[in-house]
């Protein structure tokens, strides 16, 4: 792999190994097995792929995986009943409700019905508030994975200019909070931002989370900057009719020439998201039992 590529897959493998070791110790020393419940409503094929790979990774780490697939037309009441059951199940330490939910369900209401201590996505308002005030919380997996890679690459992030492209509750905003927590000077850019190219060019750290295939060209990247590409976009394959190709929000080829370091898609942020989900489940389990938290797996 070219020297300036940050290998998220390899990094994720290390995190998963650490999680597995700690999980084995929880089992042998305390007789506890962490459990993660994943709730999927409906039959979106992309979501089914993610849910399956999360389940597989959970079992590989030595944890219990509980999958709940509800039909697309499930009522809010049915979903809230399931969440209540999982909140009260002592074998379940983490709960993830796969997003997006079908339109007739209010995702804010559903997420806020989770026990915040089991909210391994870190989307519950309590966790959002705790993160924003610098208190111990469950940290959203994707931004956590990005931060881990940035810290590994840079050491201290203090004083660096960070630009986060995208302001969603699940990626952009928590990413900005984490970078601020590490003393970056943070700019959050979005669809109304003026002179976006210039804003991006001011970044020592550029995190792209817009959901627009290859939107960021190489000439928006300051020479030597670190580029973290969160985007997961499927586009028609240029050569193979009927097939698709996975690309990020950054034009990898041109950006890699300017960047000091860059994450690829696939093999960058995605695998780290799954590794951090396991890390959060382990953290939640340790906290639930009043045991020491594994080091280096959260902020």
Ligand X SMILES: NC(=O)C1=CN([C@@H]2O[C@H](COP(=O)(O)OP(=O)(O)OC[C@H]3O[C@@H](n4cnc5c(N)ncnc54)[C@H](OP(=O)(O)O)[C@@H]3O)[C@@H](O)[C@H]2O)C=CC1
Residue ranges of the annotated binding site are 166-168, 232
Q: Which of 40, 102, 108 lies closest to 73 in space, CA to CA?
A: 102
CB under 6 A: which stretch of 69-77, 158-166, 183-191, 263-271 binds ligand GUE?
A: 263-271
Q: In angstroms, how far is the first alpha carbon of the chain from the final one?
A: 28
Contact 262, 227 (CB under 8 A): yes
Q: Is residue 140 part of the contact set for ligand X (CB under 6 A)? A: no
Q: Is residue 61 part of the contact set for ligand GUE (CB under 6 A)? A: no
Q: Is residue 263 part of the contact set for ligand X (CB under 6 A)? A: no
Q: Is the alpha carbon torsion for 254, 13, 19, 155 positive or negative?
A: negative
The correct pick among 171, 175, 184, 259 for binding ligand X (CB under 6 A) is 171
Chain residues 185-214 in contact with ligand X, contact rule CB under 6 A: 190-192, 196, 209-212
d(CA 180, CA 130): 14
Q: What is the DSSP letter of 268?
A: S
18, 118, 119, 121: the active-site residue: 121
Does the annotation count 54 as an active-site position? Answer: yes
Q: Is residue 232 part of the contact set for ligand X (CB under 6 A)? A: yes
Does the annotation count 251 as an active-site position? Answer: no
18, 54, 118, 222: the active-site residue: 54
Chain residues 30-49 in contact with ligand GUE, contact rule CB under 6 A: 49
d(CA 109, CA 116): 13
Q: Is residue 121 part of the contact set for ligand GUE (CB under 6 A)? A: yes
d(CA 231, CA 249): 5
| In the complex, least distance from residue 178 CB atom to ligand GUE, rounded to whole angstroms | 15
Q: Is residue 74 part of the contact set for ligand X (CB under 6 A)? A: no
Q: What are phi and psi of 7, to 5 degrees?
A: -85, 90
Name which of 97 and 269 has its Cβ closer to ligand X. Answer: 269
Which are the contacts of 88, defined by CB distance < 8 A and separation ≥ 6?
A: none
Q: Is residue 281 part of the contact set for ligand GUE (CB under 6 A)? A: no
The pairing of beta strand 185-189 with beta strand 205-208: unpaired
Q: Is the alpha carbon torsion for 133, 183, 108, 57 positive or negative?
A: negative
Q: Which does 199 bind (CB under 5 to 8 A by kind): ligand X, ligand GUE, none?
A: none
The correct pick among 58, 142, 177, 286 for binding ligand X (CB under 6 A) is 142
The correct pick among 6, 221, 228, 232 for binding ligand GUE (CB under 6 A) is 232
Q: Which residues are annotated as a binding site for NADP(+)?
A: 166-168, 232
Does the annotation count 121 as an active-site position? Answer: yes
Instruction: Give alpha helix (H) positions in the chain.
Output: 8-30, 45-60, 76-87, 107-111, 125-132, 141-154, 172-181, 196-201, 252-258, 269-288
Q: Is residue 141 part of the contact set for ligand GUE (CB under 6 A)? A: yes
Point out which residues bind ligand X (CB under 6 A).
Answer: 142, 165-168, 170-172, 190-192, 196, 209-212, 230-233, 249, 269-270, 273
Active-site positions read 54, 98, 121
């Amino acid at each position: 792999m070219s020297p300036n590529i940050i290998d998220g897959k390899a990094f994720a493998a290390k995190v998963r190994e650490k999680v597995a070791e700690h999980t084995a110790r929880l089992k042998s020393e305390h007789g506890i097995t962490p459990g993660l419940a994943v709730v999927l409503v409906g039959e979106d094929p992309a979501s089914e792929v993610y849910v399956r790979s999360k389940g597989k990774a959970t079992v590989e780490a030595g944890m219990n995986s509980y999958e709940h697939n509800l039909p697309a037309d499930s009522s809010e009441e049915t979903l809230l009943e399931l969440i209540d059951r999982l909140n009260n199940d002592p074998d379940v330490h983490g709960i993830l409700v796969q997003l997006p939910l079908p339109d007739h369900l209010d995702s804010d209401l559903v997420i806020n019905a989770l026990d915040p201590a089991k909210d391994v996505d870190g989307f519950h308002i309590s966790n959002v508030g705790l993160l924003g005030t610098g208190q111990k919380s469950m940290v959203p997996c994707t931004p956590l994975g990005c931060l881990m890679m940035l810290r590994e690459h840079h050491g201290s992030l203090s004083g660096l200019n960070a630009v986060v492209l995208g302001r969603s509750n699940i990626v952009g905003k928590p990413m900005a909070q984490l970078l601020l927590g590490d003393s970056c000077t943070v700019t959050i850019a979005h669809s109304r931002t003026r002179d976006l190219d210039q804003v991006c060019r001011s970044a020592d750290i550029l995190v792209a989370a817009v959901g627009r295939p290859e939107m960021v060209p190489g000439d928006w990247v300051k020479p030597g900057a670190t580029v973290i590409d969160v985007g997961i976009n499927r586009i028609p394959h240029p050569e193979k009719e009927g097939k698709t190709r996975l690309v990020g929000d950054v034009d990898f080829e041109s950006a890699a020439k300017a960047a000091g370091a860059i994450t690829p898609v696939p093999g960058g942020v995605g695998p780290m998201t799954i590794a951090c989900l396991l890390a959060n489940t382990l953290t939640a389990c340790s906290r639930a039992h009043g045991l020491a938290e594994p080091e280096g797996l959260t902020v």
